[in-house]
Amino acid sequence: MKKRLLDLQAKAKPIVERMKAADAAGDQAAFDAAQAELAPISAEIARVKALMQAEENATPEPQNAATAQGATGALVNSSECIHAFCECVRAGAAGDRTRYLQNADIVHRAVKNEGMTEGTPADGGLIVPSDIQTMIREQMRALNPLSELFSVENVSANTGSRVRDTAPTSGFTKVSEMGTISKDDKPAFAKVEYAVEDYALIVPVSNDLLKDTDQNLLAYLSRWLGKKAVITENKLLLTLLTALDGSATSIAEASALKTIKKLVNVTLDPIFGVSASFLTNQSGFNFLDSLEDGNGRPLLQVNPADRTQYMVGGRAVHVVSDAVLPNNTTAPLYVGDFMSFGTLFRRQAMEIASTNVGGNAWNTNSTEVRAITRLDAKQFDAAAVAAGKITLPGAG
């Protein structure tokens, strides 16, 4: 059994080294892959150690004088039993079998002669092992980073502007030979200004916790803060989209197919219709998934190039959770060219830093983990996206 334990520990060592290297390099994907590979080995190591301990506990003890006297000796109280149990733990860690056997005898006598029960902490419950796992089980939720749909600019200044023009709506004016050419039209420009702002959070972590836990807590916090950065960007971009809700087209179940086609074919300029895609939430996607054309075929079609992607009329449908894009009596549906519609300005991608001497960390014996990102989002062409509001079946 001991050889088996040594083999498992040898197998785990290179994986741990890979995790350390990935953590130092900031390679989250490599770290997560190594952690997943290590998990079953760690579980097997814990199981082998438990078997070895159980085997050692089950070994018959020599009937020395102290043990013989213990069978009829003085009663053992709870405090003595707990102290003896702790001594057993310390002796096992130190490999001191003699001290272990001496204190194990006290624990055995207390249990046999005192009628101790695990239901009462002082009468034995404190020494009954609990099934406690310290591995942090992260709740999985779809974050749906909307920045993948929009334009993203990494800027080097806190403020700035971009210039956009106004598309011409009329052609040249007819003029007779030697006639005066009119000056009734000229290009018009508008300035789109951005001003990045700081979005930040500080998480204080006890240094005692960092030393005592067997989990890589700082790596977990990095992932947790990364999720919050996505939520922050989504909130800025959704503000641009929800500004269109006031002019959204109502989509009722009876005429949904015609209304959706009209949004693409008529409301959008043809250039945006070509590059358009849909964005909706779970409720909106469920509605689309129930629609059929005149021949009874589903409106939603699977993208043959990507079986996880659905399409409507050859245009991709992007789905986010209802938590990210909530319903407001109706389900939202946006269609258009989101990259032409708006831009996310990043002055600084999320930066994570930590200190155990600055801020309040020194006074509280803690490590403060700080995350900062600097962002702004601006609309460029409101006509690039059309909004719809789906009346959900049964909504009243």
Q: pLDDT, tens digit, for every residue of 59-108?
A: 555 444 333 344 444 555 556 665 666 666 566 555 667 776 777 777 66
pLDDT score recorded for residue 380: 92
Q: pTM to 2 decimals? A: 0.61
Degrees to nearest 5, angle at CA 53 with 48 and 56: 125
Q: Looking at the domain 141-165+183-396, which fold is it?
A: Major capsid protein gp5 fold (3.30.2400)
Distance CA 392, CA 396 (A): 9
Provide the 10 A C-beta neighbour count for residue 280: 22
Percent of the chain at pLDDT > 70 equals 77
Please, where in the chain does CATH 3.30.2400.10 lie?
A: 141-165+183-396
Q: Three-state DSSP class for 377?
A: strand
3-state secondary structure of 300: coil
Helix (H) or strand (E) holding 66: helix 65-70
In terms of DSSP H, where are the helices of 213-370?
217-242, 256-262, 270-275, 282-289, 338-341, 361-364
The mean pLDDT value of the chain amounts to: 79
* From 192-201, 266-275, 287-296, 375-384, the region with the lowest mean pLDDT: 287-296
